């Protein structure tokens, strides 16, 4: 089974008798209803509704574990501590436990399905110390194929809304619970259907340029390359502008390379042309 060690990610254990209530009022996912044995997308937002920290959360027998970029661990724990006040909750980094992605075959004991991927793809998160035989390039290729974006590689923290990276569609945001930081803005985007930036899967006519390269239609930017592997990439794009370009027969390019774009099939999204505004 392909197994890759995600060496730039770490685990934080969140425990204590009030951990569930604390997280439920703070982060985007449905923590209270989270089933043990599943890993879901989750984020802590700014009050303005942008992603301050993104992570994968799962339930353990005694609390929760947040699987997050290692370079964000200290700041994330500091931010959680600011919100804790008198709540009976603890935050503990677990540097001894490695973070792994496993796919295609039977998952090792203790692994949990990564629900950011569509059902049936058999992608798992595993923690501990496992033999790894896959490369980061293979993992990136899998993420690209299914439109699974992550901060750092595909977008910058404090610069994207959950809708931009499809968290409104992959259970990363629970719109039915009472509150979380940034909820008002994110809920307004959902109900007014104002989300225009979305993750797209991009294929190039040749090897693609580096992450961060603009995607252009007639010299105007419609988005930016994220994770790149050969002639495939993820990108966050303005889907209305891409739709306009497609409807008008305008070529899309990235660094001069002709590209085609599609939205992840599991998202149910389509490229829709603008009906007014910018």
Residue 174 inside a domain? The answer is: no
* 154 and 209 together in one domain: no
Query: Residue 251: what are its φ and ψ, rounded to 5°?
Result: -70, 140
Distance CA 32, CA 108 (A): 26
* 13 and 135 together in one domain: yes
DSSP state of 35: P
Say what the pLDDT of residue 161 is. Answer: 98
57-82 pLDDT, tens digit per residue, is 999 988 999 999 999 999 999 999 99
117-133 pLDDT, tens digit per residue, is 998 899 999 999 999 99
Residue 170 inside a domain? The answer is: no
* 12 and 71 together in one domain: yes
Say what the pLDDT of residue 272 is. Answer: 82
* 146 and 210 together in one domain: no
Domain of 144 in residue numbering reads as 3-158
Per the structure, the count of domains in the chain is: 2
Q: pLDDT confidence of 187, banded at 50, 70, 90?
A: very high
Say what the pLDDT of residue 108 is. Answer: 81
CATH of the domain at 100: 3.30.1360.120
* 145 and 218 together in one domain: no
* 113 and 217 together in one domain: no
Question: Average pLDDT, stretch 187-214?
Answer: 96
Given a cut of 80, is residue 277 above it in pLDDT? no
Question: Average pLDDT, stretch 53-58?
Answer: 98
Instruction: Give the position of tokens 């998202």.
Output: 267
Of 5-14, 102-111, 139-148, 243-252, the poorest mean pLDDT is in 102-111
Residue 168 inside a domain? The answer is: no
* 20 and 66 together in one domain: yes
Given a cut of 60, is residue 276 above it in pLDDT? no
17-20: long-range pairs with CB below 8 Å, 24+: 17/88, 18/87, 18/88, 18/89, 19/63, 19/64, 19/89, 19/90, 20/64
Q: pLDDT confidence of 274, banded at 50, 70, 90?
A: low
Separation of CA 27 from chain center: 14
Residue 165 inside a domain? The answer is: no
* 14 and 143 together in one domain: yes
pLDDT over 90, % of the chain? 91
Cβ neighbors of 74 (< 8 A, separation 6 or more) are none
Tokens standing for residue 232:
């495939």
* 139 and 204 together in one domain: no
* 151 and 218 together in one domain: no
DSSP codes of every residue in 229-271: ETTEEEEEEEHHHHHHHHHHTPPEEETTEEEEEE--GGGT---
* 16 and 153 together in one domain: yes
* 12 and 60 together in one domain: yes
Say what the pLDDT of residue 158 is. Answer: 97
Question: Average pLDDT, stretch 159-174?
Answer: 97
């Amino acid at each position: 089974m392909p197994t890759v060690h995600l060496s730039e990610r770490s685990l934080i254990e969140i425990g204590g008798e009030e951990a569930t209530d604390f997280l439920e009022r703070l982060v985007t996912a449905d923590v209270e209803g989270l089933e043990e044995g599943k890993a879901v997308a989750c984020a802590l937002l700014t009050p303005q509704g942008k992603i301050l920290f993104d992570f994968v959360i799962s339930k353990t027998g005694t609390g929760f574990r947040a699987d997050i970029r290692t370079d964000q661990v200290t700041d994330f724990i500091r931010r959680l501590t600011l919100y804790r006040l008198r709540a009976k909750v603890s935050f503990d980094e677990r540097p001894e436990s490695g973070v792994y992605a496993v796919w295609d075959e039977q998952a090792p004991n203790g692994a949990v399905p990564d629900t950011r991927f569509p059902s049936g793809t058999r992608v798992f998160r595993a923690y501990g110390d496992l033999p790894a035989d896959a490369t980061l390039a293979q993992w990136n290729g899998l993420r690209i194929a299914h439109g699974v974006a992550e901060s750092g590689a595909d977008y910058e923290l404090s610069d994207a809304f959950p809708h931009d990276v499809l968290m409104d569609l992959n259970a990363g945001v629970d719109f039915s619970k009472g509150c979380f930081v940034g909820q008002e803005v994110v809920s307004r985007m959902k109900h007014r259907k104002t989300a225009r930036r979305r993750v797209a899967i991009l294929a190039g006519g040749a090897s693609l340029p580096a992450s961060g390269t603009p995607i252009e239609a007639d010299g105007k930017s419609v988005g930016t390359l994220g994770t790149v592997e050969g002639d495939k990439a993820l990108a966050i794009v303005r889907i209305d502008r891409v739709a306009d370009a497609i409807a008008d027969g305008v070529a899309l390019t990235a660094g001069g390379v002709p590209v085609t774009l599609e939205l992840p099939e599991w998202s149910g999204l389509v490229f829709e042309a603008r009906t007014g505004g910018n």
